[in-house]
Structure 1
Amino acid sequence: MRRALEMHDFGTVFRLAKSRAGISYSRIAAECDIKPDRVGTLAKGQGKITTFDKVRQIADALRVPGHMVGLTPGPWETDEPPTQTYDPRRGQTSVRRRTVLQAATNTGLAAALPALTKPPAPRHVSDGDVERLRHRTARLRRLDDILGGGDTYRVYVSEYQATKALLRTSTFTPESRRRTVALLAEQAQQAGWAAFDGGQQKQAESLYEESRRAACEAVESDLLGNAYAFLAYQTADRNTAVEIASSSCSTLTSSTPACVRALLYERMAWACAVADRPHGVEQALDAARIALDEKPQFGEPQPDWAAWVDQTELDIMTGRCWTELRRPLRAVSVLEVALARYDDSHARDKALYLSWLAGSYLTAGEVEQAATVTGRALGLASGVASVRPRQRLAPVLQRLGQYKALPAVAEVLEHAGG
């Protein structure tokens, strides 16, 4: 149950509520304001809950503490308990209705949800303690798959600050301290990414710089390279971004894991695309493809923070780069195929990627198709706590404005305005 809540896998949550606590799907539907057939569909593993508002609504209805789903505490978490009770046999409700988890206390569901609180900070930090913290960081990173930085920033910053406090107040062996500083670098990058995604550019840059310093102290070249890559990604000056991305790739060695090499070369390709350097784009994309094609040697560690880089992601980056270079014939074909494999549950990222596909269709003169793709992107971006999809779609919508006489364009412009 805890795992399902962390991953926002509410289908599993609903299924466990029924099988372990005897709570019907119709009652779950009533509590969470979801259609009963939708609850059943989710419980069968079909579809996902992706919007922040609905995650918040379900968490509050089920009385799931906010930290278990990566949210801030709900208002009910500080309320006094109700003085009356809910009698399921008579259907009577107190002034402040008891919810599903409260009603299920005696049937075992509440017992299946121990608080996902942070463990107390150890006085002496061992390698095992560091490993447990790394696993926790990896679990929390999964929230970024479905939530925007506006929702996750406080979660990731809290983890980063807790590790900083640990370094100040606890004792370490030399190796456990080095590994904890490396973890701090990793957490600073995740918090910086959430800040960037939520529109907090200064905080993002500050966290990336902190990550760079921590990676240097920990002598972690992979994390150092990723810190440079993050800095390049948000740097406004295009030529400077290429220089920083080059610094990122200069950290690569023969022992760098394949997924890290692919990630850094991908971001180098993007920096070159934005700077209008097509030759650099091709070189970097080829290097990323070679890295992904190499099978990791037995036992070679692939860090969790780079494990999401795969062939689909590389194809999407390829399409993005050719869109930026105004090569729509190259961009459209690869983006269409890659995005067909990319699940809608990654709403923020898919909305972003669709914006590049729409831009390439416009460049190719396929206005109606561009409008259709833009409409899909707007729908996915709705309710996601990230500033980037709308920022990316703004110039596409502006270009579409000159074709507003077309019904398909007028419809998507009206949607965007609403």
Structure 2
Amino acid sequence: MTGYEPPTALPRRLFERADMLAALAAHDFGTVFRLARAEAQISYSKIAAECDIKPDRVGLLARGQGSVTTFEKITRIADALRIPGQLLGLAPRDWEGPASPHRTFPAPAFGLDGDGEGVRRRNFLKTSAAAGLAVGLPELARPSLGSRIGSDYPERLRERTARLRRLDDVLGGGDTYRVYVGEYTATKALLRDATYTDPTGRALLSVLAEQAQQAGWAAFDSGRHRDAADLYEASHRAAVDARDTELAGNALAFLAYQALNGDRQAGIQIATRSVNEAGPGAAPGVRALLYERLGWAHAVAGNDVETERALETALNALTEVASDNRQPDWVAWVDHTELQIMTGRCWTELRRPLRAVPVLEAALAQYDDAHARDKSLYLSWLADSYLTAGEVEQAALVTNRALDLASGVASVRPRQRLASLLQRLNEHQVLPAVAEVLDKARA
């Protein structure tokens, strides 16, 4: 099949369009067919012949009626239209190769080396991510153009968003960014093209704000900082329009986290706004999350008293979680272990290793290696504290472990954190443990 170029092969430029990426992520082949005809002048009859689908069914799909769900048919469409496998949650197709004009999207920045179970699992999830196959997504038929959306649809869409969020537990933003942007773009189109009541519209805007934050986080994690800021700002506007003060506050918290890389005082101001915008009536998990991020902003700026005060407020909020059932899914990961880790990170930034090391050691002992990106990052703060305390060999051992976990994760952040550590360790390269980790990093 590698030597045959079907007449239905889509031009490369179509894979740069947001609406095409959204349709592929959702397996909305009706939209794919419509775009193929409108933008590439590929007739439905040609599509039907190459995809082995009856012509009338191609027409029905293009009008938003029905869906394609079988693996065999999806792969047939991918091959006929020359859709890169990763855009559909498939492994690379036989016809894809380094020189193929259809190999539009490069591989993640960090190669998949080694054969550990965690790496194999991440590889499987990465190839499945675009379709949500690995997280058991339920069927969710996308409404056709101009259709009326029922009041239950936003909640079903929010459930789908929650399921897709689980991909971030094991994959980096380089693997999830297009999936999350596709979901955000599809919901944005729905708000524009469908009809609905005012309450349903506000609920859709709330979901849109949530999706924009997830896409923004993936953009940030993969080094697309301008895209991340744009998505966070779009999320804040949507949340305000939806009157969802919790999501509005969280959008500001994301912007504060990003701002700390440049203007620390601006980061503190935005983090303070995030707490105020969510308000004291926010769910306990939301308050815990926003206050720990405020604590982080103060720690980066060197404000130890304010850091401790914010972390204590976050801990008090966490004690209320068990008795409160209003926790949104996007704060489900905030628990006592996560707060311990943030506390250790803060004390590391404040150059207080005697306080940071015990907290990080205890928390990371309970943290599963399956969360490779996050554990690699958190270990970097532990290594940082060991180095500050003069425990160079221990810092090297922890850095070595963090490098192993960072392998195969499509995130720029672990390598950025580890780069500064390795530079500091370079001063002690005569020590065997340090020489070993430096050699590994160079390799």
Tell me which interval the TM-score lies in, with the shorter structure as reference length.
Answer: 0.7 to 0.9
- Is the alpha carbon distance of 1:248 and 1:173 closer, same or farther for their aligned partners in structure 2, counting shifts above 3 Å? same
Partner residue in 2 for 1:303:
328
Partner residue in 2 for 1:67:
131
Partner residue in 2 for 1:210:
234
- 1:159 maps onto 2:228 in alignment: no
Aligned partners of 2:164, 2:333: CA distance in 1, in Å?
Answer: 14
Q: What letter is aligned with 1:195?
A: A
- 1:249 maps onto 2:275 in alignment: yes
Shift of residue 307 of structure 1? 1.1
- Is the alpha carbon distance of 1:66 and 1:182 closer, same or farther for their aligned partners in structure 2, counting shifts above 3 Å? closer
Aligned partners of 1:358, 1:193: CA distance in 2, in Å?
Answer: 25
Aligned partners of 2:229, 2:130: CA distance in 1, in Å?
Answer: 28
Q: What letter is aligned with 2:360?
A: L
- 1:314 maps onto 2:345 in alignment: no
Partner residue in 1 for 2:421:
396
* Preserved CA contact (<8 Å) 2:321 2:327: no
Secondary structure in structure 1 of the residue aligned to 2:223: coil
Q: What letter is aligned with 1:212?
A: H
Partner residue in 2 for 1:371:
396
Partner residue in 1 for 2:290:
264
Aligned partners of 1:355, 1:282: CA distance in 2, in Å?
Answer: 21
- Is the alpha carbon distance of 1:414 and 1:117 closer, same or farther for their aligned partners in structure 2, counting shifts above 3 Å? farther
Aligned partners of 2:157, 2:320: CA distance in 1, in Å?
Answer: 30
Aligned partners of 1:135, 1:295: CA distance in 2, in Å?
Answer: 21
Q: What letter is aligned with 2:201?
A: R
Partner residue in 1 for 2:143:
121
* Preserved CA contact (<8 Å) 1:50 1:147: no
* Preserved CA contact (<8 Å) 1:51 1:147: no
Shift of residue 336 of structure 1? 0.2
Q: How many residues align?
A: 325
Aligned partners of 2:295, 2:143: CA distance in 1, in Å?
Answer: 41
- Is the alpha carbon distance of 1:389 and 1:214 closer, same or farther for their aligned partners in structure 2, counting shifts above 3 Å? same
Aligned partners of 2:391, 2:280: CA distance in 1, in Å?
Answer: 45
- 1:322-372 deviations in Å (ceiling 9; x for gaps): 000100000001000000011000000000000000000000000000000
Q: Identify unmatched segments of 5+ residues in structure 2.
A: 1-90, 92-115
Using the aligned pairs only, state the percent identity.
59
* Preserved CA contact (<8 Å) 1:347 1:384: yes
Partner residue in 2 for 1:281:
307
- Is the alpha carbon distance of 1:372 and 1:69 closer, same or farther for their aligned partners in structure 2, counting shifts above 3 Å? farther
- 1:203-249 deviations in Å (ceiling 9; x for gaps): 00000000010011001110011000000001121110000000011
Partner residue in 2 for 1:149:
173
> Of the candidates 113, 124, 127, which is equivalent to residue 55 of structure 1?
124
Shift of residue 51 of structure 1? 5.3
What is the RMSD of the two structures over their aligned residues, measured on CA atoms? 2.1
Shift of residue 54 of structure 1? 3.1
Partner residue in 2 for 1:175:
199
* Preserved CA contact (<8 Å) 2:292 2:342: yes
- 1:407 maps onto 2:432 in alignment: yes
- Is the alpha carbon distance of 1:343 and 1:233 closer, same or farther for their aligned partners in structure 2, counting shifts above 3 Å? same
- Is the alpha carbon distance of 1:135 and 1:398 closer, same or farther for their aligned partners in structure 2, counting shifts above 3 Å? same
- Is the alpha carbon distance of 1:70 and 1:388 closer, same or farther for their aligned partners in structure 2, counting shifts above 3 Å? farther
Alignment of 1:29-44 (within 5 A): none
Shift of residue 148 of structure 1? 0.1
Secondary structure in structure 2 of the residue aligned to 1:125: coil
Aligned partners of 2:416, 2:344: CA distance in 1, in Å?
Answer: 19
Partner residue in 2 for 1:201:
225
Aligned partners of 2:130, 2:228: CA distance in 1, in Å?
Answer: 24
Shift of residue 53 of structure 1? 6.8
Secondary structure in structure 2 of the residue aligned to 1:176: helix
Shift of residue 389 of structure 1? 0.1
Q: What letter is aligned with 1:319?
A: G
Off by >2 Å, runs of 4+ in structure 1: 47-54, 68-71, 115-118, 252-255, 295-298
Secondary structure in structure 1 of the residue aligned to 2:152: helix
Aligned partners of 2:309, 2:255: CA distance in 1, in Å?
Answer: 21
Partner residue in 1 for 2:318:
292
- Is the alpha carbon distance of 1:48 and 1:308 closer, same or farther for their aligned partners in structure 2, counting shifts above 3 Å? farther
Secondary structure in structure 2 of the residue aligned to 1:214: helix
Q: What letter is aligned with 1:133?
A: L
Q: Which shifted more, 117-126 or 221-230?
A: 117-126
Aligned partners of 2:264, 2:247: CA distance in 1, in Å?
Answer: 23
- 1:9-66 deviations in Å (ceiling 9; x for gaps): xxxxxxxxxxxxxxxxxxxxxxx9xxxxxxxxxxxxxx95445773279x5xxxx795
- Is the alpha carbon distance of 1:308 and 1:65 closer, same or farther for their aligned partners in structure 2, counting shifts above 3 Å? closer
Partner residue in 1 for 2:213:
189
Partner residue in 1 for 2:410:
385
- Is the alpha carbon distance of 1:317 and 1:167 closer, same or farther for their aligned partners in structure 2, counting shifts above 3 Å? same
- Is the alpha carbon distance of 1:179 and 1:380 closer, same or farther for their aligned partners in structure 2, counting shifts above 3 Å? same
- 1:229 maps onto 2:293 in alignment: no
Aligned partners of 2:296, 2:216: CA distance in 1, in Å?
Answer: 19
Partner residue in 2 for 1:108:
none
Secondary structure in structure 1 of the residue aligned to 2:278: coil
Q: What letter is aligned with 1:189?
A: Q
- 1:128-154 deviations in Å (ceiling 9; x for gaps): 111110000000000000000000000
Q: What letter is aligned with 1:202?
A: R
Q: Identify unmatched segments of 5+ residues in structure 1.
A: 1-31, 33-46, 72-112
Aligned partners of 1:362, 1:171: CA distance in 2, in Å?
Answer: 59
- Is the alpha carbon distance of 1:56 and 1:269 closer, same or farther for their aligned partners in structure 2, counting shifts above 3 Å? closer
- Is the alpha carbon distance of 1:56 and 1:132 closer, same or farther for their aligned partners in structure 2, counting shifts above 3 Å? closer
Q: Could you tell me the TM-score, scaled by structure 2's length?
A: 0.70
Q: What letter is aligned with 1:353?
A: Y
- 1:61-88 deviations in Å (ceiling 9; x for gaps): xxx79524479xxxxxxxxxxxxxxxxx
- 1:330 maps onto 2:355 in alignment: yes
Q: Could you tell me the TM-score, scaled by structure 1's length?
A: 0.74
